[in-house]
Amino acid sequence: MGLAITAGRQALPALPPCPLDAAARIAHAADARRGTQACVLALRHAGPRRVELRHELLGDAALPMVLVAGGISADRHLAASAAFPQPGWWDAQVGAGRALDPSRHCLLAIDWLGADGTLDAPLDPADQADAIAAVLDALQVDALAAFVGCSYGAMVGLQFAARHPARLQRLLAISGTDRAHPYASAWRALQRRALALGALQCDERDGLALARQLALLSYRTPEEFAARFGAAQVAGGRVRVAAEDYLDHCGDKYAARTPATAFARLSESIDLQSVDPGAIRIPVTVAAVAEDRLVPIGDAYRLVERLRGETRLRVLRSRYGHDAFLKETDAIAALLREVLADGDAGNHGCPGVAP
C-alpha cells in the first residue's frame, strides 16, 4: 500500500551552531569507530546544558552516511563488529549482505541524550535532533543520505527533518509519528508512577522493573501472549499467571542496565513529541503496524496526509505490535532496502568523517 503526495514548504530558519570542544575523541578501529563530543545544547525545556554526545560509526566514512535510531532503550551500538564484538540492538539488520550493509553505507548511531542518567531535566525529541546535528558538525558531515528511525527514533527523525531540512535526503519513520497518542501517554504515565512508588519504598530498582513490565505489555499484543502462554496455576498458595516469569526476567534485565532517571526522562520525552508535518518537505516513508497499540494506524494516516514532500505509507501486520521493527526481520529488511535503494539511485556521494 502506498500514497504519494507532493507539495512545497517554506524553509525553517537555521539554528545557531552548538559550540563544540576543539576535537571529537574518536577511537579508531578496523571496522567501527566510537567518539564523544562535549558541547552546550540549548534544551527546549531546560535551557543551555553541557552534555556529552556519544556515537558509533560502522563502515567507510567515504560512503553515504545513514543514521539509525531505535526506541528509548536503543543506543549507539547497532551490531557486533571486530572492534566491539558485543551483540548490538539491531544485529538482525546490520552486516554484509543485509539491509544495513556497512560496505554500502556508513552507519551512524548515537546514545540518546539522558541515556546515562546524568541529565535530570525534561528532554524534548527536538533536543535529540539538535544533538544529532551537533554530532554531524563534529564529524564534518554536511548531510545524511537517510535517517532510519524506529519508535522514539522515528519521532526524532521527524524532528530532524523539520529542524535541519538541508542535512537530510530522506527519512524512514517506523512506528513513530508527529505526536504521542493520549492513550499511549497514559500507559507511560502509569509506568512512571510505578517507578516513583518504588523510590518511595526505597526500592527504585524493583519500581523500574515493574515499569518496564508494564511497558512490555504495551509493546506487544494479546495475540502474541495467547500463542506463548497458557493458563494460570496455583503455586505456593497463590495464583501465578504464565507470563509472570517472562515479565520478571525482562524487568530485572532492564533494571540492571538502565538508570531510573534515564527511563523516566526518556519516557517523558516521548510524550513531549510535537512536530508540524507541514514543515517537512523531504521524501518520507512512513511504516505503521496495524496491531500497534502505542502508535495507532490512524495516526500514521494522519501524518502522511499532512507531510509536504514525496510520501509513502507502508502498513505491516504483526502479532508483535509495536515491537515489530525488532521481530519482523524480513518485512523490515524489505522496507530498509526499498528506502535505501531510492537514496542510492539519486545519491552522488555524501561527505564522511574528517581524518
How many whole angstroms separate alpha carbon 287 and alpha carbon 93? 16
128 three-class SS: helix
CA angle 120, 124, 125 (to 5 degrees): 125
How many whole angstroms separate alpha carbon 213 and alpha carbon 178? 26
How many whole angstroms separate alpha carbon 133 and alpha carbon 149? 15
Joined grid coordinates for residue 9: 514548504
Decide if 37 contacts 135 (C-beta within 8 A).
yes
Based on its alpha-carbon atoms, the radius of gyration of the chain, rounded to whole angstroms, reads 20
Query: Looking at the annotation, which residues are catalytic?
Result: 151, 292, 322
How many whole angstroms separate alpha carbon 146 and alpha carbon 191? 33
How many whole angstroms separate alpha carbon 17 and alpha carbon 11? 17
Joined grid coordinates for residue 17: 551552531
